[in-house]
Structure 1
Amino acid sequence: MNQLNPKKVYLITGAAGFIGYFLSKKLLDQDCMVIGIDNMNDYYDVNLKYTRLNLLETYDKFTFIKCDISDKDTILNIFEEYKPNIVVNLAAQAGVRYSIENPDVYIQSNITGFFNILEACRRYPVDHLVYASSSSVYGANKKVPFEETDFVDNPVSLYAATKKSNELMAHTYSHLYKIPATGLRFFTVYGPMGRPDMAYFGFSDNYFAGEPIKIFNNGDFENDLYRDFTYVDDIVEGIERLLSNSPTGDLQHKVYNIGNNNPEKLMVFIGTLEKALSNALGREVLFEKIYEPIVPGDVPATYASTESLQRAVGFKPETPIDEGLQKFADWYVGYYQKK
């Protein structure tokens, strides 16, 4: 089901980020023109961002612009010059725990920045705006799996509050200015070239640094944290299918979960990562573990219902964690030259 149009211009914010890189690459591999925006901030190792960016810059149809989406004049100028047909907003300040200590940057990027994207789409009309929301909007909801129709007015982190705000802002702009917009609630995305602030990446870093890993579940294995871990290729496939499937009708705004619909206990995920690193290194890997209380803002479980996505585009993520984590481990060991 490939309806990408090489004659259209795709603008991707956060293009040097984890999901942004893989989406840009997939579009470029199909001969689409991609305008990539990223501020290349140092929230995590900027060298990894440049590694991704350098790979994208080998494509003739890729244009990179270093800027921050909170810079309204620059964003409007980019829209005026390149007139994108489809916009994918993946630029955001990520991370639940970081938002507790650094709230300002979340408002700047996730609220002001997204407002600027909406304003640009209003002034220079687009075929479709797709933007990243997050599973964190479900807060501490007890009902599982999470469905798009669930009540999501009780965020437990500022990050989650900004993502819920994005959905409300997009809904309003879609209603007022007929901007076709789709929000995507991502569920714990992982894979090669992923974000170093994510737990699986940090666990690997700690192991090779000879340090224990911290597990925020109080050592309660019966009531362990559950996460819907979603492999990056599945996320990109879902986005790609939705790009040419813009909402129609009176309200041109939709929200979809993109998750694996198969939550795993955190301890199972950790055991699978140990095995994947063992395979990659050819020797046994066991993490030293320290158990600590759950961090404020973290939620005990994420579990996506993906029925809406499946109905819309005939796809649901299915990559099992042993396969996805093996690809991550193989990349990690090779990229960082671990032995």
Structure 2
Amino acid sequence: MKRAFITGTAGFIGFHLAQLLLREGWEVHGYDGLTDYYDVALKQCRHAILGQSPEFTATVGLLEDADALNAAVEVAQPDAIIHLAGQAGVRYSINNPRAYVEANIIGTFNVMEAALAVRPKHLLMASTSSVYGANTEMPYAETQKADTQMSFYAATKKANEVMAHSWAHINGLPITMFRFFTVYGPWGRPDMALFKFAKAILEGRPIDVYNDGDMWRDFTYVEDLVQGINLLIETVPGGSETGVDGDSLSPVAPWRVVNIGNSEKVRLEVFIDAIELATGRTAQRNYMDMQLGDVPATWANADLLHRLTGYQPETNIREGVARFVEWYRTHYKVIA
């Protein structure tokens, strides 16, 4: 039986990835700090669901706690480590940047050290589309230069990519970084736009729409995202012989970065229309200026993912939003 060690299994994406790997016959050990950045009860509920599988075990601990992390990885002896935990959120990074240094910089370094001790076949780590920052050439491709991050959150994720490249070069440890594009779906975080918008609309409250609604995002359904990660686990960077056209594979290290996105740029107003359709309610829109640290548009070129795995995320925005609203109504017992 293959063994995976996943950080962030009580989180949105980690929960869905763990579910997928368990269904596919993996043994999964989760590691999560259950921090109070958002509702801990939601995190505990995700872990409780995973805990119904006899092949799932978990350690509660912070990424910054190197001893606890090392001990958990040593016990798990994983074939693959997928690092999804960290401090998320563009806006929170403006007011609390230290949390991002501790979780995303120090915590990721601890994950890389723990991986080196057990040398899994593949270490995969989360980055973000936010690393493209002020780039205006779209859709974003992995081979573009990305040095103009607009938020401290994005800066820490770009630092993770650079750290990982040097680690792969020095230690010969295969590492894949993946850049996520506006992930949404059931069990999403309460600080994310879909959760906030759906909650407010169902409660009859107005929603804040930034940049007067002139925002574009490449919305990626969470189950599509984790299927991309799942397929990349077996796509191990190992040198020039594993390269494909348009590859980001390093010439000096077993390292690459891969976009995982829907490859479709959707206007924010269309996203809100989909929520209105799913809830049967009309949104009260409070138009506002662009928020500091945000970017007006993201759009993925996901050709590399397709060339490497044969897979392309494709869930329609209306379908994905409807699934979230159905989950939200059920989980929070919303009758109206």
- Measured in 2, the distance between the counterparts of 1:306 and 1:83 equals 32
Q: Are 1:333 and 2:335 an aligned pair?
A: no
1:208 positional shift? 3.2
Q: Are 1:324 and 2:320 an aligned pair?
A: yes
- Measured in 2, the distance between the counterparts of 1:322 and 1:207 equals 16
Which stretches in structure 1 are left out of the alignment for 5+ residues?
A: 1-6, 279-284
1:209 positional shift? 3.4
Percent identical across equivalent pairs? 46
Q: Which residue in the other structure is 1:4 paired with?
A: none
- Aligned counterpart for 1:248 among listed residues 232, 238, 242: 238
The 8 Å contact of residues 247 and 253 in structure 1, kept in 2 or not, is answered as yes
Q: Are 1:197 and 2:205 an aligned pair?
A: no
1:180 positional shift? 0.4
Q: Are 1:298 and 2:298 an aligned pair?
A: no
1:88 positional shift? 0.3
- Measured in 2, the distance between the counterparts of 1:277 and 1:240 equals 32
- Measured in 1, the distance between the counterparts of 2:128 and 2:143 equals 14
Q: Which residue in the other structure is 1:79 paired with?
A: 73
Q: Which residue in the other structure is 2:269 paired with?
A: 267
The residue identity in structure 1 corresponding to 2:83 is N
Q: Which residue in the other structure is 1:210 paired with?
A: 204
SS of the residue 1:47 aligns to? helix
1:242 positional shift? 0.6
The 8 Å contact of residues 202 and 279 in structure 2, kept in 1 or not, is answered as no
Q: Which residue in the other structure is 1:239 paired with?
A: 229
1:53 positional shift? 0.7
* Cα deviation digits, residues 171-223 of structure 1 (max 9, x gap): 0000000110000000000001111111111011222333210000135xxxx
Q: Which residue in the other structure is 2:95 paired with?
A: 101
Q: Which residue in the other structure is 1:282 paired with?
A: none
Q: Which residue in the other structure is 2:178 paired with?
A: 184
The residue identity in structure 1 corresponding to 2:52 is T
* Cα deviation digits, residues 9-36 of structure 1 (max 9, x gap): 1000000111100110111112211000
The 8 Å contact of residues 215 and 297 in structure 2, kept in 1 or not, is answered as yes
SS of the residue 1:218 aligns to? helix
1:42 positional shift? 1.1
Q: Which residue in the other structure is 2:311 paired with?
A: 315
1:251 positional shift? 1.8
The 8 Å contact of residues 148 and 257 in structure 1, kept in 2 or not, is answered as yes
- Measured in 1, the distance between the counterparts of 2:116 and 2:162 equals 16
- Measured in 2, the distance between the counterparts of 1:64 and 1:73 equals 16
Structure 1 residues 32-181: aligned runs within 5 Å: 32-181=26-175
The residue identity in structure 2 corresponding to 1:96 is V
* Cα deviation digits, residues 40-88 of structure 1 (max 9, x gap): 1111111111111110000001001000111111111122222112000
SS of the residue 1:96 aligns to? coil
Structure 1 residues 278-293: aligned runs within 5 Å: 278=280, 285-293=281-289
The residue identity in structure 2 corresponding to 1:216 is Y
Q: CA RMSD in A?
A: 0.9
- Measured in 1, the distance between the counterparts of 2:212 and 2:235 equals 44
- Measured in 2, the distance between the counterparts of 1:74 and 1:54 equals 21
- Measured in 2, the distance between the counterparts of 1:135 and 1:196 equals 20
The 8 Å contact of residues 2 and 25 in structure 2, kept in 1 or not, is answered as no
1:39 positional shift? 0.5
- Measured in 2, the distance between the counterparts of 1:299 and 1:218 equals 13
The 8 Å contact of residues 140 and 300 in structure 1, kept in 2 or not, is answered as no
